[in-house]
A and B are shown apart, each in its own frame.
Chain A
Amino acid sequence: QKEVEQNSGPLSVPEGAIASLNCTYSDRVSQSFFWYRQYSGKSPELIMSIYSNGDKEDGRFTAQLNKASQYVSLLIRDSQPSDSATYLCAVNQLPAGNNRKLIWGLGTSLAVNP
């Protein structure tokens, strides 16, 4: 059973702090990794994608990938109340065909307190 695991939270951080979200995956052959943000009652929106080991930065967001340890993390610097949402980690599963199905974590709820 291929799995993606996240701490459900809630993770509570004060405004302006760094929020650190973690995700581990079980399938070693996974090659594409994604972080989505989902506000309550809304659909997911893509925050970051990462494909190779190391860090990838985009504004206040940094994704970190370590394939040897099979984890991917998301750092949010200078957290804002508007960052309060559920963050979903998704990992690409490589099927035999052309369907790029993602394996989803259950999400981590983040609350940024003013």
Chain B
Amino acid sequence: GAVVSQHPSWVICKSGTSVKIECRSLDFQATTMFWYRQFPKQSLMLMATSNEGSKATYEQGVEKDKFLINHASLTLSTLTVTSAHPEDSSFYICSASKEGKTQYFGPGTRLLVL
């Protein structure tokens, strides 16, 4: 199999706080993980690509200082939304690449910033 987990599945926080989301590949090693964001009724938007042990590559328009990504091991990547604001409320989804080809998605994290 290729199972990817995310934690937490949903989070509510106050404006100005930071939120950390974890993404784990449970039964395979993922050299590359991806972070996406999806607003209601819109398509997936790639935020960044993360390789184990190196700095993430951010897509154009995504603030790297606001969305901190750490990929410390072959099975774990984290996304920290710093100083979250209501406009950051969204569905955040990670995926992990198995054998450099197929991306398998985690179940997603719903973030609501009040």
Q: Measuring CB to CB, which residues of chain A are less than 8 angstroms from any residue of chain B? A: 32, 34, 36, 42-46, 49, 88, 90, 92, 98-102, 104-107
Could you tell me if A101 and B46 are in contact, using CB atoms closer than 8 angstroms?
yes
B8-53 interface (Cβ within 8 A of A): 31-32, 34, 43-44, 46, 49, 51
Give chain A nearest CB distance to B3 CB in angstroms: 11
Verify if B67 is at the interface (C-beta below 8 Å from A). Answer: no
Could you tell me if B51 and A45 are in contact, using CB atoms closer than 8 angstroms?
no
Could you tell me if A99 and B103 are in contact, using CB atoms closer than 8 angstroms?
no
A44-B44, A88-B44, A107-B43 are contacts. A100–B104 as well, Cβ < 8 Å? Answer: no
Most chain A CB within 10 A, of B51, B101, B106, is at B101
Nearest opposing residue in chain A for B102, CB measure: A49
Could you tell me if B108 and A99 are in contact, using CB atoms closer than 8 angstroms?
no
Rounded to whole angstroms, the CA-CA distance of A107 and B34 in the bound complex is 19
Q: Is the interface of B mostly helix, strand, loop or mixed?
A: strand
Q: List B contacts of A46 (CB < 8 A).
A: 102-105
A98-B31, A98-B32 are contacts. A32–B101 as well, Cβ < 8 Å? Answer: yes
Rounded to whole angstroms, the CA-CA distance of A45 and B100 in the bound complex is 17
Rounded to whole angstroms, the CA-CA distance of A102 and B59 in the bound complex is 12
Nearest opposing residue in chain B for A106, CB measure: B43
Could you tell me if B31 and A43 are in contact, using CB atoms closer than 8 angstroms?
no
Rounded to whole angstroms, the CA-CA distance of A49 and B34 in the bound complex is 18
Q: List A contacts of B97 (CB < 8 A).
A: 100
Give chain B nearest CB distance to A84 CB in angstroms: 16
Could you tell me if B102 and A101 are in contact, using CB atoms closer than 8 angstroms?
no
B101: which of A43, A45, A49, A88 is its contact (CB, 8 Å)?
A: A49
